[in-house]
Amino acid sequence: MERSAVNREIPSHIEGYGDVAGRLYEGAFARTPSGYRSGPRIRSSSPHDGSKLTGGVKEAIMAAGVKSGMTLSFHHHLRGGDHVVNGVIQACAELGITDLTIFPTALFDVHKDIIPYIKSGVVSRIMGSVNGAIGRLVSEGGLSSPVVLRSHGGRPRAVISGDVHIDAAFIAAPAADRAGNISGQMGRSACGSIGYAFTDAEYADVVVAITDNLQSYPISPISIPGVYVDLVAVTDSIGDPAGIVSGTTKVTRDPIRLLIAKYASRLIEASPYFMDGISFQTGAGGIPLAVTAFLKEAMKRRDIRASFGLGGITGYFVDMMKEGLIQKLMDVQSFDLEAVRSIASNPSHIEISADWYANPWNCGAAVNMLDVVILGATEIDMDFNVNVCTEADGALLHGIGGHQDTAAGAKLTIIAQPLTRGRIPCVVDKVHTVTTPGEVVDAIVTEFGVTVNPRRTDLMDACADFAVSRRIPLIPIDELAERAKKMCGVMEPIRTSDRVAAVVEWRDGSVIDVIRQLEK
Amino acid sequence: MRRTMLYLPGSNPNMLLRGHLFEPDGLVIDLEDSVSAGEKDSARVLVREVLRRGEFGACEVTVRINSTDTEYWRKDVEVVVSCGVSGLRVPKVESPQTVKDMDEEISRAEEKSGIPRGSTKLFCLLESALGVWNAYDIAKSSPRVTAIIPGGEDLAADLRTSRSKEGAELEWIRRMIIVAARAAGVDALDTVFPYVNDDEGLERETGFVKQLGYDGKSVVHPNQIAVVHSVFDPTERETAAAKRIVDAASDAEARGLGAVSLDGRMIDAPVIRRARFTLMRAGLLSDGQRG
Amino acid sequence: MTMLDSRTAQAGTLESMDCLVTVTGPADGRVIEISGSSAPRFKISMERRVNDVLDSLGCDSGVRVAVQDNGALDIVLGARVEAAFVRYREGDVR
């Protein structure tokens, strides 16, 4: 048994993952790269016919040479509307291919269709975020190898450094031409940014674009050029538009969420980063969106403009850019129709890859330029460690997303979350799973006020000095935990077995924690 | 201060437990209109438990009980008073007799629970033309009465009209009640503004009652609190001016001077009283220092 | 005991931070069933609360108490059990 720097017991060897000794989490910035980047097979295409059309998905799988035991990669830019993962796995099953490792950026509830193929052995291993039904299956021991969870930045790092070698990448392409140029910006399945797919296109041995919108050569704009793409498969539908993008994002009217958002926005306004040129990432959740709305008021009141907004982009950010309150958007994932329209038409709305967004092992990811990030959590503990992966019952239900990367990169990392969800407290003595270490978390905001990490005395002073009329209630972490305990009572323990169901990697590839299988 | 008193439905645990987090000046836990006839029993049990828990931050805690023409009110009084609340909000007060009936019942309950007699105050809702007409007598009928409040829907119906956003039907009533309240020495609190998504309408109506002299307004949604507070709170300029006046007055007092002057001008006593009130509103002076 | 003697009473809701309590009887002894969002982490203390409330109300006959929880704090659970049991005992069946 080993112990990571956040005091978690981790087996020295994890069956189906490997030796942990030597890659135990030692600190947020402890592990640094050496040596050279890994690389894919070199290939060429024929000089007189650049067409890569191969027919449908099944033909493409055969042409790509997919065999049992290989690693296939997928991306979640079509989110809950994606048909590509299910389609490819089903076709592999029909072709008699088994024992696949799938390497998705994330799987959602829509992908529960692959559960029968997990049970029948077509898929034997998952390295990637699992949400919902598949997460529960994994927690209950439904997969023989542990799931490996990586952040949005940790995943391209693993590819580039050679931790993961991709045999074939299947990229959902809302628009493509016969030479394999790809864009996410047009077509019935338009999703905006396809930033999660970039690194896989560059590093996979074979790259297959799957499209329901074949256009004449060359398409424009091009996100991923055909120089990386081997094959183009055409299918009726790569996704359900209703699940790909949401409608107009509206700011919540839920008073508790608004209260939390108000305190978070005041904390940002009181911080030293609230000045012309500020940058932030707030995402699409109820509280973060409301923080953005309050921040917008404060920016107008204090005549401040932001240099850029980062990450998953919503129509709300787009509107702020139109109003001149944000100058640039750096978009790894476009959440709604407004964001999709904007990235396709406004040069200040920049499509970035997950590598560019968040990888700790390149020459500078965008997160390192970030001032403020608002994040969520299922649990936070007395050491400010954050769990976003497991739910109250101990089941793995959420991926890491950009949580680790933005928390590590930003100057001010705020976790904004109600103190309780029903009777379940969000602030606890010890989180069930450490996703992000307290070392990179600066403040927690709940309906009871702002809880500043004690190492950030500067923030505490800034809050105390803030205008009386815009009061920021400060509450220490132990008081917050005590309050939660008094309200909810003491939780009964989660019963787990010793078997590791999932490994949580820190963004640098070290093992920060493991998620153990639940006892029946 | 009673700038805002937030209604919390007595059958809704979520709001009962978290209402104080929105920091209204007071809470009105409701056993009346927001609780259906079939849930009066369960709401009373729930409200009792929440009152016993007693976590309401700095809020003044009151309970709106059922009116004296129902079968519920005596039980409501018994249970609620025994938990030790700041006051009861009594619906449909028509005359001093309603207050007397209530007063007797409360006194019995106070005695039974060992609570000092008279500590439970009354907030009287005047929801009929007769009740409004008797406003002054009602306000004077017991030392328990601490505020009078015009009704909304019921009152409009009794006047044979309906509620409107502009509030023409309540305009004269609001004027009458503020005069009665001031004459009797109790607070005048306004009724709710029911359009929870119309912040501008709320701001307009609050501005009107503030100008009339009201002490505050009842609110039905947490999101209304900030709007009402912003109307009642003095601006920074008002606060600064008031502070100079109060400082000058304190200075004069300390030096034993009878007259107060600022920038070479004499300041009258009502102006000083007004300045102290402004500072209290701004949270820079406690109630006791109001003078 | 005939079927006619069987009674059910309820209190509470399935709204957030509330629970729906169903009391049915007569039953063979006291049976408590807990389900819902808090159950994985609070089952034992919830059962204890139900027992305490029933005891304090002098419940000495066999009843089945089913709690469908949606995040009720202990005092809310207690209030709902009390209201449901009083309704059950007083024959206020709804």
Residue C57 near chain B (CB below 8 Å): no
Mean pLDDT to the nearest integer, A376-393: 96
Determine whether the interchain pair B233/A259 forms a contact, defined as Cβ–Cβ distance below 8 Å.
Answer: no
The answer, yes or no, to whether residue B291 has pLDDT greater than 50, is no
- Dihedral sign, CA of A468, A471, A476, A479? positive
Domain boundaries, chain C: 3-89
Q: In chain C, which residues have their Cβ closer than 8 Å to the Cβ of A494?
A: 40-41
Residue B230 near chain A (CB below 8 Å): no
Determine contact, residues A41/A215, Cβ cutoff 8 Å. Answer: no
pLDDT at C93: 52
DSSP letters of B150-172?
E-SHHHHHHTT----SS-HHHHH
CA distance A221 to A185: 8
CB-nearest to B50 from C75, C80, C84 is: C75
Determine whether the interchain pair B223/A258 forms a contact, defined as Cβ–Cβ distance below 8 Å.
Answer: yes
The answer, yes or no, to whether residue C94 has pLDDT greater than 70, is no
Determine whether the interchain pair B21/A258 forms a contact, defined as Cβ–Cβ distance below 8 Å.
Answer: no
- Dihedral sign, CA of B130, B131, B133, B136? positive
pLDDT at C1: 44
Chain C nearest C-alpha distance from B194 (Å): 23
Q: In chain C, which residues have their Cβ closer than 8 Å to the Cβ of B42?
A: 11-12, 79-80, 83-84, 87
The answer, yes or no, to whether residue B288 has pLDDT greater than 60, is no
Determine whether the interchain pair B222/A253 forms a contact, defined as Cβ–Cβ distance below 8 Å.
Answer: no
> What percent of chain C lies above the pLDDT cut of 70?
91
- Which range (A167-176, A493-502, B278-287) has the least confidence? B278-287
Domains of chain A: 51-244 (3.40.1080.10), 255-492 (3.40.1080.10)
Per-chain mean pLDDT for chain A: 95
Chain C nearest C-alpha distance from A514 (Å): 20
CA distance B13 to B10: 8
Count helices and strands in chain C by DSSP H and E runs = 2, 4
Chain B nearest C-alpha distance from A326 (Å): 27
Residue type at A343? I
- Model confidence band, residue B286 (pLDDT cutoffs 50, 70, 90): low
Chain C nearest C-alpha distance from B13 (Å): 6
CB-nearest to A492 from C43, C72, C73 is: C43
Determine whether the interchain pair B14/C16 forms a contact, defined as Cβ–Cβ distance below 8 Å.
Answer: yes
Residue C49 near chain B (CB below 8 Å): no
Two structure tokens written together for A54: 């191969």
Number of B to C CB contacts under 8 A, please give it: 44
What tens digit of pLDDT does each residue of C18-56 get?
A: 999 999 989 999 999 999 999 999 999 999 999 999 999
The answer, yes or no, to whether residue B33 has pLDDT greater than 90, is yes
* A451-487 as b/e: b if 16+ CB within 10 A: bbbeebeebbebbeebeeeeebebbebeebbebbeeb
The answer, yes or no, to whether residue B287 has pLDDT greater than 70, is no
Determine whether the interchain pair A259/B222 forms a contact, defined as Cβ–Cβ distance below 8 Å.
Answer: yes
Substitution target from B42, B50, B51, B83 for chain C, most C beta carbons within 10 A: B42
The answer, yes or no, to whether residue A216 has pLDDT greater than 80, is yes
CB-nearest to C73 from A394, A487, A492 is: A487
What tens digit of pLDDT does each residue of A410-455 get?
A: 999 999 999 999 999 999 999 999 999 999 999 999 999 999 999 9
Mean pLDDT to the nearest integer, A318-329: 97
Q: In chain A, which residues have their Cβ closer than 8 Å to the Cβ of B197?
A: 253
Determine whether the interchain pair B48/C79 forms a contact, defined as Cβ–Cβ distance below 8 Å.
Answer: yes
Two structure tokens written together for C43: 């089952």
Q: In chain B, which residues have their Cβ closer than 8 Å to the Cβ of C13?
A: 11
Chain B nearest C-alpha distance from A511 (Å): 39
Q: In chain B, which residues have their Cβ closer than 8 Å to the Cβ of C15?
A: 12-14
Helix axes B73-82, B96-113, angle to 10 degrees: 40
What tens digit of pLDDT does each residue of A288-298 get?
A: 999 999 999 99
Q: In chain B, which residues have their Cβ closer than 8 Å to the Cβ of C94?
A: 38
pLDDT at A248: 64
Q: Fill in the DSSP letter of residue A491.
A: P
pLDDT at A419: 96
Substitution target from A136, A140, A423 for chain C, most C beta carbons within 10 A: A423
Chain C nearest C-alpha distance from A139 (Å): 15
CB-nearest to A256 from B18, B197, B221 is: B18
Query: Which B residues 47-76 touch C at CB under 8 Å?
Result: 48-50, 52-53
Query: What's the distance, CA A457 to chain centroid?
Result: 30
pLDDT at A469: 59
Instruction: Order across the sheet with A123-126: list the strands.
Output: A123-126, A100-104, A71-74, A168-173, A206-211, A231-234
Per CB distance under 8 Å, which residues of C are interface residues toward A?
16-17, 37-38, 40-45, 69-74
What tens digit of pLDDT does each residue of B212-224 get?
A: 999 999 999 999 9
Query: What's the distance, CA A491 to chain centroid?
Result: 29
CA distance A409 to A304: 22
Determine whether the interchain pair A489/C42 forms a contact, defined as Cβ–Cβ distance below 8 Å.
Answer: yes
Chain C nearest C-alpha distance from B81 (Å): 18
- Model confidence band, residue A463 (pLDDT cutoffs 50, 70, 90): confident
CA distance C94 to C92: 6
User: Strand, helix or coil at A358?
Assistant: helix
pLDDT at C92: 58
What tens digit of pLDDT does each residue of A246-276 get?
A: 766 678 888 999 999 999 999 999 999 999 9
Residue B56 near chain A (CB below 8 Å): no
Determine whether the interchain pair C17/B13 forms a contact, defined as Cβ–Cβ distance below 8 Å.
Answer: yes
- Model confidence band, residue B262 (pLDDT cutoffs 50, 70, 90): confident
CA distance A227 to A49: 14
Per-chain mean pLDDT for chain B: 93
Q: In chain B, which residues have their Cβ closer than 8 Å to the Cβ of A259?
A: 21-22, 222
The answer, yes or no, to whether residue A5 has pLDDT greater than 50, is yes
Chain B nearest C-alpha distance from A361 (Å): 44
The answer, yes or no, to whether residue A202 has pLDDT greater than 70, is yes
Determine whether the interchain pair B14/C86 forms a contact, defined as Cβ–Cβ distance below 8 Å.
Answer: no
β-partners of residue A267 are none
The answer, yes or no, to whether residue B289 has pLDDT greater than 50, is no
The answer, yes or no, to whether residue A148 has pLDDT greater than 60, is yes
Contacting subunits of B (3+ beta carbon pairs below 8 A)? A, C
The answer, yes or no, to whether residue B279 has pLDDT greater than 90, is no
CA distance B193 to C50: 40
pLDDT at A249: 67
- Model confidence band, residue B85 (pLDDT cutoffs 50, 70, 90): very high
CB-nearest to A392 from C41, C43, C74 is: C41
Determine contact, residues B154/B127, Cβ cutoff 8 Å. Answer: yes
CA distance A296 to A306: 10
- Model confidence band, residue B5 (pLDDT cutoffs 50, 70, 90): very high
CATH class of C3-89: alpha beta
- Model confidence band, residue B229 (pLDDT cutoffs 50, 70, 90): very high
Determine whether the interchain pair A392/C70 forms a contact, defined as Cβ–Cβ distance below 8 Å.
Answer: no
CA distance A309 to A329: 5
CA distance A16 to A151: 20
What tens digit of pLDDT does each residue of A396-414 get?
A: 999 999 999 999 999 999 9
